[in-house]
């Protein structure tokens, strides 16, 4: 067939008319007979040996995992005073950015210049080091640069770490993950909850059926503090009794609060409430305490 003849002449052979190139089948493995010695099959012979190395690493890894629990501090709190510390493999960068020639006026050199040159150089190493020679001692420039980088990595990391240790010592602060563990251990012994997590507890309304609830609505408190006392324009009044007693609440109704809330006494009176109602309302609000 003409079609068949044509496909024999073409260099690239396509499957049917889909223009998908027909594969060459098995990728012939590179011939290692040029190398001296005994090569062996990847599966299963070599993989078994590699797996044995893997098992040694895995055992060490699991021993580390079991003996050193992953650290966890206290929940993030923007106003906490903490010495910020990156993961250990960023320490060299962190330390180097503290030097005067890498910060302040030279910050561009610090964050862009030197990292671009060094990481760019590493990325493009094969195109910079183009000689035929592979042994490291026959490539003095590449090897020297790498050794220099390694030494500075070790130096910077070590410097940052010892500095951090000194800072901790000077301030007398323990790292938070140790503090948390200690606190959890103490609480466990006392039978208290060990969690440091943020709790979202809803405070209940005390005496919901009290007539003061109606007064609260009539006096237009509802428009800022909401029908469920959870607050809208104004703050939540649930648990307000923890903060203010009856007299303080009366004063707030009559005089307003810190310029945020206007005096509401006159509004309440003109809504048809009596002094007695308002007094009872303040008394009821003062009873709004968090359950213990």
Residues 58-117 contacting another protein, CB under 8 A: 58, 61-62, 64-66, 68-78, 80, 82, 84-90, 94, 97, 107-108, 110-112
User: The tokens of 253 are what?
Assistant: 């109704």
160 in Cβ contact with 91 (< 8 Å): yes
Does residue 25 belong to the site contacting another protein (CB under 8 A)?
yes
Q: Which of 16, 100, 126, 140 binds another protein (CB under 8 A)?
A: 126
Q: Which is nearer to another protein, 69 or 172 (CB)?
A: 69
Does residue 144 belong to the site contacting another protein (CB under 8 A)?
no
> Of 8-16, 39-47, 258-266, 268-276, which segment contacts another protein by CB under 8 A?
39-47
Does residue 177 belong to the site contacting another protein (CB under 8 A)?
yes
Sites for another protein among residues 183-242 (CB under 8 A) = 184, 194-198, 200
Torsion region of 61: left, alpha or beta (phi above 0 gives left; psi -120 to 50 gives alpha): alpha
Please report how close the Cβ of residue 264 comes to another protein at its closest, in angstroms. Answer: 33
Does residue 54 belong to the site contacting another protein (CB under 8 A)?
yes
> Cα separations (Å) of 44 from 36, 41, 49, 51, 169?
22, 7, 9, 10, 54
Q: Which of 2, 5, 20, 36 binds another protein (CB under 8 A)?
A: 36
Please report how close the Cβ of residue 8 comes to another protein at its closest, in angstroms. Answer: 21
Annotate 106-139 with b (16+ C-beta within 10 A) or e (fewer). eeeebeeebeeeeeeeeeeeeeeeeeeeeeeeee
Q: Which is nearer to another protein, 3 or 130 (CB)?
A: 130
Count of residues in contact with another protein, rule CB under 8 A: 86
Dihedral of the CA atoms 48, 51, 56, 60 (nearest 10)? Answer: -170
Integer Cα distance of 52 and 221 in angstroms: 74
Integer Cα distance of 106 and 96 in angstroms: 12
Q: Is 20 strand, coil or helix? A: strand
Q: Which is nearer to another protein, 107 or 227 (CB)?
A: 107
Please report how close the Cβ of residue 26 comes to another protein at its closest, in angstroms. Answer: 5
Angle at 26 between CA 24 and CA 31, to 5 degrees: 110
Q: Which is nearer to another protein, 178 or 227 (CB)?
A: 178
Handedness of CA 276, 278, 284, 286 (dihedral sign): negative
Please report how close the Cβ of residue 207 comes to another protein at its closest, in angstroms. Answer: 30
Does residue 27 belong to the site contacting another protein (CB under 8 A)?
yes
Those residues with Cβ within 8 angstroms of residue 7's Cβ, 6 or more apart along the chain or in another chain: 13, 14
Please report how close the Cβ of residue 211 comes to another protein at its closest, in angstroms. Answer: 37
């Amino acid at each position: 067939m003409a079609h068949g003849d044509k496909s024999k002449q073409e260099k690239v052979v396509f499957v049917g008319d889909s223009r998908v190139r027909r594969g060459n089948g098995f990728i012939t493995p590179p011939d290692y007979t040029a190398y001296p010695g005994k090569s062996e099959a990847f599966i299963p012979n070599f993989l078994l040996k590699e797996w044995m190395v893997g098992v040694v690493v895995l055992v060490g890894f699991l021993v580390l995992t079991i003996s050193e629990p992953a650290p966890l501090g206290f929940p993030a709190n923007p106003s906490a005073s903490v010495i910020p510390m990156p993961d250990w493999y960023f320490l060299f960068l962190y330390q180097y950015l503290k030097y005067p020639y890498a910060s302040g006026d030279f910050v561009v050199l610090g964050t862009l210049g030197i990292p671009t040159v060094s990481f760019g150089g590493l990325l493009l190493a094969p195109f910079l080091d183009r000689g035929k020679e592979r042994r490291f001692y026959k490539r003095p420039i590449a090897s020297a640069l790498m050794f220099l980088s390694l030494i500075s990595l070790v130096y910077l990391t070590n410097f940052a770490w010892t500095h951090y240790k000194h800072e901790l010592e000077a301030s007398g602060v323990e790292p938070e993950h140790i503090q948390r563990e200690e606190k959890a251990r103490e609480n466990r012994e006392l039978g208290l909850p060990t969690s440091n997590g943020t709790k979202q507890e809803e405070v209940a309304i005390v005496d919901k059926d009290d007539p003061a609830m109606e007064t609260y609505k009539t006096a237009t408190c509802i428009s800022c503090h909401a029908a469920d006392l959870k607050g809208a324009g104004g703050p939540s009044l649930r648990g307000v009794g923890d903060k203010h007693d009856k007299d303080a609440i009366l004063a707030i109704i009559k005089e307003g609060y810190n310029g945020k809330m206007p005096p509401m006494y006159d509004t309440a009176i003109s809504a048809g409430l009596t002094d007695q109602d308002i007094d009872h309302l303040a008394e009821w609000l003062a009873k709004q305490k968090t359950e213990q």
